């Protein structure tokens, strides 16, 4: 797949809430980067990325909404603006805006990095 095709497929799956299927677009040796200081700041390998996603999802009590914007493709990278509004099991409600940046190699996502305001989690 081209970078544009990967981007379009990722956005379509995320908009449908098919996050686990979206991880099928990742390379086995992919790397995922969160903001500095957050748990799993650097996660290597698809199996570990999937474990981190499962952990994140298990902490959510209720999802109130969210958006997935259109991808912007430049070379072998693409960026997607996203929002989410969730209540965690500890009672914190977090309304977050982020830009997700992806690097594609050989038709798979090789690197994903997520950029957001960490203070959104302090409320």
- What would the pLDDT profile of 62-89 be if each residue is shown by its tens digit? 999 999 999 999 999 999 999 999 999 9
Residue 99 has pLDDT above 90, yes or no: yes
Residue ranges per domain, the chain? Answer: 3-118
CA 36 to chain centre: 15
User: What token pair was written down for 107?
Assistant: 């038709």
pLDDT of residue 33: 95
Domain 3-118 - what CATH class?
A: alpha beta
Closest CA to 30 of 42, 19, 39: 42
pLDDT in tens, 36-48: 888 779 999 999 9
Other C-beta atoms within 10 Å of 68: how many? Answer: 19
């Amino acid at each position: 797949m081209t970078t544009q095709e990967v981007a379009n497929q990722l956005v379509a799956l995320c908009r449908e809430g098919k996050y686990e299927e979206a991880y099928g677009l990742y390379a086995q040796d992919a790397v995922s980067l969160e903001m500095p200081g957050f748990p799993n700041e650097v996660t290597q390998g698809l199996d570990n990325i999937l474990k981190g996603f499962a952990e994140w999802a298990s902490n959510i009590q209720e999802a109130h909404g969210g958006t997935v914007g259109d991808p912007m493709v430049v070379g072998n990278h693409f960026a997607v603006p996203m929002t989410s509004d969730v209540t965690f099991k500890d009672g914190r409600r977090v309304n977050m805006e982020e830009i997700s940046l992806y690097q594609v190699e050989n038709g798979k996502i090789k690197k994903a990095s997520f950029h957001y305001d960490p203070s959104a989690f302090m409320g």
